A = this chain, B = another copy of it.
Amino acid sequence: MPKPLIALDWGTTRARAFLISETGEVLQRRVADQGIQSVPAGGYPAAFEALAGDFRRARPDAAVVLAGMVGSRNGWVEAAYVACPASPDEIAAAGLPVTLADGTSATVLPGLSCDDGAFDVMRGEETLIVGLGLEDGIACLPGTHSKWIEIRDGRIVRFASFMTGEVYGLLRQHSILARLAEEPAGDDAAVGASRGLAAANRPGGLLNTAFSARTEVLGGRMKGGEVGPYLSALLVAHEIASAAALFGRQQPVHLVADGVLAESYSAAFEAAGLPIAITTPEAAFIAGVTRLAAGLAS
Contact = CB atoms under 8 A, between A and B. Distances in A.
Interface of A: 113, 117-121, 145-146, 160-164, 166-167, 170-171, 174-176, 199, 202-212, 215-216, 218-219, 221, 235, 238-239, 241-243, 245-246
Nearest to A122: B215
Contact of A119 (B145, B202, B215, B243): B215
26 contacts: A113-B219, A117-B202, A118-B202, A118-B212, A119-B216, A119-B221, A120-B215, A121-B215, A121-B219, A160-B208, A162-B204, A163-B176, A164-B207, A167-B167, A167-B170, A167-B210, A170-B171, A203-B246, A204-B242, A204-B243, A204-B246, A206-B206, A207-B235, A207-B238, A207-B242, A208-B242
B163 A210 contact: yes
User: How many copies of the shown chain assemble into the complex?
Assistant: 2
Contacts of A146: 207
The 10 closest A-B CB pairs, nearest first, are A205-B242, A203-B245, A162-B207, A119-B219, A163-B211, A170-B170, A118-B212, A120-B215, A161-B211, A162-B208
A236 B245 CA distance: 21
Contacts of A161: 208, 211, 215
A241 B205 CA distance: 9
Nearest to A171: B170
Given A119-B219, A209-B118, A216-B118, A204 B245 contact: yes
A210 to B, nearest CB: 6
Contacts of A171: 170
A72 B146 CA distance: 40
Nearest to A145: B211
A215 to B, nearest CB: 5
A223 to B, nearest CB: 14
B164 A175 contact: no
A240 B115 CA distance: 28
Contacts of A242: 203-208
A145, A166, A202, A241: most-surrounded residue (chain B CB, <10 A)? A166
Nearest to A221: B119
A167 B202 CA distance: 19
Contacts of A170: 167, 170-171, 174-175
B175 A163 contact: yes
A145 B211 CA distance: 8
Contacts of A212: 118-120
A205 B238 contact: yes
A72 to B, nearest CB: 10
B118 A204 contact: yes
A30 B117 CA distance: 50
Contacts of A162: 204-205, 207-208, 211
Given A119-B219, A166-B176, A211-B163, A238 B204 contact: no
